[in-house]
Amino acid sequence: MSKKDDKPKNINIQNRRARHEYAFLVQYNAGMMLQGTEIKSIREGSVQLQDGFCTFHQDGSLWAHNITIAQYTEGTYNNHEPTRARKLLLNKKELKQLAGKAQEQGLTIIPVRMFVNDRGFAKLEIALAKGKKLYDKRDDLKAKDQKREMDRARDY
């Protein structure tokens, strides 16, 4: 059996902290411009999204910052830098929409999930988000606990 016949494992890295800290308004799937060994590290699951955020540069392109993709263990001197800024690939219409909405007060663009699609490309799901207040977080935790209790009661 050759390497191409091997079924790739499903890569799905989530930013669980972001779901707790932010309310998502709009979500987009963006491609990423990667260097040589970065995709191999992503396929190993060596990614941390917790501190990540996205910003627009002067030329109108969207860049992801503080996403840590660990160095590839089998890499040589050509290995990548773990926390470098990476350009995100969206079409012009999506970029224009995001740029317009991101200018509003209190909104930010954060990475939510990184995955590898069917064709083998690494994709980053980003969201236009608004920070939650403390009472919103408490309400979410309360609803989660109530749902858990109802599920337990139903099982008995």
Q: What's the pLDDT tens digit per position in 56-97?
A: 988 889 999 999 888 887 777 777 778 889 999 999 999 988
Q: Say yes or no to pLDDT of 32 above 70.
A: yes
Environment class of 151 (CB within 10 Å of its CB; exposed 0-12, middle 13-18, buried 19+): exposed
Give residue 89's pLDDT.
Answer: 92
**% helix, strand, coil for the chain, step of 5:** 30, 30, 35
Q: Is the pTM of this model over 0.75?
A: yes
Q: Say yes or no to pLDDT of 8 above 70.
A: no
* Ordered alpha helix ranges (H), 36-117: 38-44, 92-102
AA identity, residue 114: M
Which residue is listed with tokens 């909104």? 107
> Could you tell me if 15 and 113 are in contact, meaning their C-beta atoms sit under 8 angstroms apart?
yes
Give residue 126's pLDDT.
Answer: 93
Tokens representing 40 are 């191999």
Give residue 132's pLDDT.
Answer: 83
Helices (H) and strands (E) in the chain, counts: 4, 9
2: number of Cβ within 10 Å: 5
Residue 130: strand, helix, or coil: strand
Q: Say yes or no to pLDDT of 123 above 60.
A: yes
